[in-house]
Every structure is written in structure tokens, then in C-alpha cells.
Amino acid sequence: MAPKKVFIHSPELDLYPYPPECPFNTSRAGRTHGIAKSMGLLAGADRSVISAPPAERNVLEMYHTADYLDALASAPERQIDQRLFDMGLGTMDCPVFPGVYEANALACGGTVKGAQLIADREATVVFHPAGGLHHAFPDRAAGFCYMNDIVLACMVLADAGRRVLFLDVDVHHTDGVQEAFYAREDVLTISMHESGRTLFPGTGFEGDIGVGSGEGYTVNLPFPADTYDDIYLEAFMEVVVPLVEAFEPDVLVVEAGADALAGDPLAHLCLTNNVYVDIIEALLAAGKPMLVTGGGGYNIENTVRAWALLWSCLCGDRGHDDMMAGMGGVMLGSTDWHGGLRDRLLAPSPETREVVAADVGAMVEKVKQNVFPRHGL
């Protein structure tokens, strides 16, 4: 049987919600699964839906320290002290709550399972919307992330002898993943994010390109506020596409956080989900296996619609635009937008277009000067 496109969904995640005051809403993955199922996007001989068990302790310790994992597991039964606080636990971004360890181990298990399916050639496309916890460090939680499933998945693939290209289009810089592979050349890390000058975590600038044998294998594209579809896609085509061709990866890993979309309450970019489709279709054209996760996305309705559209695109459902026009609002229970899964187009003002285009153009040139020569470009 030919390798399939796999949607990974673990309903058990709903048992461990983040506190209601925390913007990170774990229901997004389940809602994405529900919308995809309602629209018939999970049916077909070429695709399947599976659940995945939590990541085992030995897998988690490929990246995370034993002391940190012990502290995270016991934190809900303990009073927050300075030691836990130094590990990023008990903060506004990373609250301690019942099941915090179990929820993150499940999220990691899904993404690692996806990597194993690709490494074993049992799948060519895997989508895990509950993944994408890219801010977690070996011994510290940050930015709603307690365990780093992306790092673990890339490690599994690299250990299997695969050259990995990781592209992060979440609006926040992929700081945890960058640190993990900053001195390595078998994992090329590319982050397209809102500039650290205006957004957490305040890192990821053009000059951050790796060290030692990893120099040139970390690529950062920091975008100014108000970045719009056309200029974002232009930067992707000018930087990412040539690097994919030059690096010749065996596997593509993508974090598709939806917080770069217009209307997200925690960021300042003005993208629509149409640009995500353009990016995924360009990556699919490379003909490489692809593991895609979710990530950020704090306008829940927009995020769910974007991820359902993303899955449709990954499956090659070319008719999704015509078939679903008018269905999106009904299926999503939305009274705001009835145009299907795709967002309405957003046109920047002439003034915004001029300012943003100049900033992005200068940024792209810096990135190319810093990185391209190291890849023969």
C-alpha cells in the first residue's frame, strides 16, 4: 500500500486544558479535526487519522534534562518556589496546572510519531495541529511551551540519517529550535517571524546564522509590523525556495502557527491564510516528505479555519475553493465570514505597502548576503 497522508489527533488532549485565562487554547486541534471531518477532508484512500501515545521519558530526554522533567511532572502538587520559577514554571506565560506534563508529553508524542512515520516511509505527509511548541528549552519553559516537540522530531529524523529543513512561519521566532541546532549542519532552521524589536521573544535577527559547522544553517527573516501577503510571499520565494533547492533536504518540517494572520490578538502581522496555501504548495512541489505542525494562533476561529485549509492543501484537494465556498461560516459556527476556508483578501494601504516593502526588501538582502554564499548561491 502506498504511503498515506496522516492526520494525527489525540482526543485525550482535551482532558488537560490550559487555564482559561491563558491565551493558549488546546481545543484548536480538536476543532480543526472536527471541521476537517465535517467537510469530508479526512475521507479517502490516500489519507488516515491516527492518535499517538505520549512521548516516552527516554524520548523526552533526547533534548530535555531529567531535573527539568521531574520538576515539571511534580509541579502541580508543589508550591511554586524559586527553583520552579527559574525553570519558567508558574509564570503568566507558562502556568502550572493539573496535567501540564501529560498534555505536553501527548503533544510531543504526536509530532514524534509523525517523524517516525516519515522516517519509516509509512507516510509522505503528516499533519499534527497540536504540535509546534517551539519555545521550550532543555531546562526551561517559555511562551506557553513546556516541551519542544519540534526539536525532538527533527532529532528523530536526523538520527535516522535524514537531512532536515525546518521552516517556521509562526509569528514568533523559533528560539528553542534555533538553540538546539545552532551549531549543526544536518538541520537547516529557517524562521519567518515578526521582528523581535516588536514581539516576544525578542530574538531572531538577520545576523543570527549559526556557529561553527552550523554557520549558515540558521536563517532568520524578521518582518516588520503590518507585513502583508504579497511581500511575505516574495521574501519566501527569494530566500526559502533557493535554500530548499541548495540544501537538498530529505524531509521538510514546517511549523504553521496561525498567529501571523491578521486579527491575532498577540501579534501585528496582517497575513491571510491564502499565503499559507501558496507556501505549502511551493514546498509540496519540492517532492519531499513533509511533517507539519500547528503552533500559535490566538484568534481561535481564524486558526481553526487556517489549519483545516492547510490540511486540504496538503492532501492536494484542488477543488476545495469551489466546494467549500459558503460552507466555512456554517461549519465553524461563524457569523462573521461565510466565504469558505480561505480568508478574504486584505489590501494594505499605499503608505503601508511602501514602508513595509522597503523594510522587507532591506531585510531580505541582508539575509541573502549573510547566508547564500555558504550554500553556493
What residues are annotated to the active site? 135
Whose CA is closest to 96, among 149, 23, 22, 26?
22
d(CA 85, CA 67): 14
**Contact indicator for 188, 247 with CB cutoff of 8 Å:** yes
Contacts with 61 (C-beta within 8 Å, 6 or more apart), sequence order: 69
**Contact indicator for 270, 104 with CB cutoff of 8 Å:** no
Please give the backbone phi and psi of residue 367, each rounded to the nearest 5 degrees, phi first: -60, -45
User: Exposed (0-12), middle (13-18) or buried (19+): which is 82, by Cβ within 10 Å?
Assistant: exposed
Question: The cell 517571524 sits on which residue?
Answer: 193
Give the cell for residue 253. Answer: 518540517
d(CA 139, CA 261): 31
d(CA 238, CA 260): 19
Question: The cell 549542519 sits on which residue?
Answer: 185
Contacts with 226 (C-beta within 8 Å, 6 or more apart), sequence order: 268, 269, 270, 348, 352, 355, 356
Pure H helices in the chain:
27-38, 57-60, 66-74, 82-86, 100-119, 149-159, 175-181, 229-235, 241-247, 273-284, 300-314, 320-324, 328-332, 350-371
CA separation, residue 71 to residues 59, 76, 139, 222, 276 (Å): 17, 9, 10, 34, 37
Q: How far apart are the first and last CA of the chain?
A: 39
Give the cell for residue 257. Answer: 502557527
As a dihedral over the C-alpha atoms of residue 277, residue 306, residue 313, residue 271, rounded to 10 degrees, the angle is 0
